[in-house]
Amino acid sequence: MSSNHLHIIEDSLLTLHILTNSLEEIYSISVSSDRREFIDFLKRGTSPDIYLIDITLPDIDGFEILKILKGTSSAKIIYSAKTNPELIEKAFELGAHDFIKKPTPVQELKARLSKTLLFFNILKDNKLNLEEVKGTIAHYFGQPLTALGAELYTLKKSLPANELNDSAYSSIKRFEQAFEILVEMYNKFKDIDTPVKVDYLNNKKILDLNGDR
């Protein structure tokens, strides 16, 4: 049995039976069939690797479930017989990572679950790596930038304005402008949530710090 945990949210006993029998050799499976069971599952603090969610349940719908699960570290797939474009678009807007039509052949279902989990984990790893880089930047650059700003302020105040010639004043002004740019880029980097790459030199890419966030 895989160590990956699949939580199925489905009220049809027949569908649950089919899914469980088809997937139990690949996943550790838990189930919820209504709001109470789903909320009780969440209260236990368990975080499955992937959710398979029916849209229509007796007292809660899949869209509300997606809203509740927003920001959790689990992949989320809607599994529904309703497949009109508006529902599919809404599901993706609310954070679904895939939308699978019910019923789907077992082999295709297995492949879709596996692929979704694979890509979700890649995205999650990249996000963790980004957080590590952001933390490193904050640790090693934040304090020196603060100290540099303080020293620049002290230097400017220690030199009487009437003793500054045009060359010295221009030099200090350039230092100030460069410092402001460094601080601006530092803050933009810290605030990156979804990294966007742009083309750079020699077919390389860099993070875009100038785009809209």
User: How do the pLDDT tens digits run along the chain, 213 residues long?
Assistant: 467 999 999 999 999 999 999 999 999 999 999 999 999 999 998 889 999 999 988 889 999 999 999 888 889 999 998 888 888 989 999 989 889 988 889 999 999 899 888 888 776 666 656 666 667 777 777 777 888 888 877 877 776 665 566 677 777 778 788 878 888 877 877 777 666 777 777 666 676 777 654
| Domains of the chain, residue spans | 5-104, 130-207
CATH fold of 5-104 reads: Rossmann fold (3.40.50)
Query: Residues near 92 by Cβ (< 8 Å), separated by ≥ 6?
Result: 99
In this prediction the pTM is: 0.60
Q: Which amino acid is at 195?
A: P
CB < 8 Å & 24+ apart, contacts of 64-68: 65/9, 65/38, 66/91, 66/94, 66/95, 66/96, 67/94, 68/42
